[in-house]
Structure 1
Amino acid sequence: MHERVIFLILLCVIGMLCTVIGFWRRKTADAAFAAARAAATAKERDRYCRLAVLAGHREACLMFCFARSDFFEDHQPLKPFKSHGIKVAFYGYYYPSRYADLIDDEQRAFCRSLYQFKEGENHGIEFFKACMSVLNLDDAPYHILFMPCSDEFKYARRFKRLDWYITTHRPDLSSGLYDVDVFESRDSLHEAKGGENRILERNYRITGNIEGKQIIIVDDVLTSGQSMADYKEEIERCGGKVVAAIFYGKTVTRPPLLLIKAHVWGGCIVNKIKELTK
């Protein structure tokens, strides 16, 4: 009986210690995360963010992931890769608006420019030129087809100035803005919840003659590549050959939190070992 009482007391003490440790761990994580958000330099932001991750802060894990995309992304901006049998390039990473508090000023500025492109307020010429230059395609004539939007108005508003640039400044290219008829409205895949898993509802038809033409697809955001694959299939059914696709942005990848924590903890352990072996 006496041993059982001692055992229960020990359990209570251990439980209290775990509660106290957990409380101060959360407080430390919150303080480090707040310091990371208020940091004046990227170096300070990275330091405090790592401390918050070590303390188990969930949002700090995402902040670290977004700040060090070179660790977690398979594809980098302006570095072409193959997808669905074609070359693909994108201009920068896109961070959905729900992550606005976890990214830095430069990342927010890029997202604003992408939104302006979607709204037709940013012509997108710089993005188009940069992506085209890194594709390193042959000197064959290429026909540009723009990804159909959720309605005809958005389609024309988004791509009309790129169409002007191509037709007036790029004799090596031809624009297919009017080769596509967006005949009805549909929900936007990017705005709909779970949009990356939805099947694209075709609200367009290809009316121009693209038989035998080498096609480059232009779109605003690459997420799963589902829309691109569907459009490629329709283009090739109409006789065109898709050779490449370029995007203003690519939706940032969210790896498992455990992977992010393992990366930060691994770096911390390596640094400590280096300090001890000096």
Structure 2
Amino acid sequence: MSEITELAGFDTAFATALAGVLVEVGPILDERQKRVLAGAGARQLGHGGIKLVAAATGVSADTVGRGAKELEAGLVTDGRVRMKGAGRPTLEQKDPLVWEALNALVDPVTRGDPMSPLRWTTKSTVKLADTLTSQGHQVGPKTVARLLKDHGYSLQANAKKLEGRQHPDRDAQFIYLNEQVTAFLDAGLPVISVDTKKKENIGRYSNGGAEYSPQGEPETTNTYDFIGEAGKAVPYGVYDVGANSGWVNVGSDADTGVFAVESIRRWWTKIGHPGYPEATKLGCYGDFGQRN
């Protein structure tokens, strides 16, 4: 028997043995571990190893090759099970026209200006989802809300409520605001968006949400939620549109105009003036709901 024949016989036996190993331990291996093990065997066999391992194990040659390349590139320690790009495709991958269809349904004044600094929609996400579904795009209200947020839209307070008759000047108001913001930003002047965040009781009270704690050791709070002497914490947010940065001031006063003005004054003293030392004007806008 020649040396070449002996080597070929060894390679085949090795690949067959590897196939047996995969059969025995396969049930406890994930997709990546199987791929890497097959790739390791192919690397040990050298030239032609991928084809031999694939034939013996039933694993596709492409998969064996990917496993070998991962080992060669040192990519076996990042914890990833699937290759990048694998897994369930996103909605946008399955339906690349869904955003174009949704964008055509929202306010036409923003549709024509993709660089608009203010993006908004007051249409119901339920109605938008229903309309898209009727057009052949299978989406729900939550997906619509995510798409709008991902593309810079602000869902107004009535985004999930039934729509009534729209005021004839509603779009004109938004157009005017957008023009003012654009003019301020072009002139290098500061523009801020302001709003009041969710109020929280000060003290050991139950508030919405959850936080990580040792198992069986939840944070204890008062049995009753009567407001104590400390009152409520009122966070007031100031967002710098041009700098894309936020600032939050927390007080205990009622949500009044005085508190809003004081919050803006503090932002200007600590953040605004140092960032815009030459500014002579400040643009300020916000979604105040039922408040004026």
Scaled to the shorter chain, the TM-score interval is: under 0.3
Give the helix-richer structure, 1 or 2: 1
Select the structure with the greater relative contact order (CA < 8 A; seq sep ≥ 6): 1
TM superposition score normalised by structure 1? 0.19
**Which one has a bigger Cα radius of gyration?**
2
TM superposition score normalised by structure 2? 0.18
Give the strand-richer structure, 1 or 2: 1
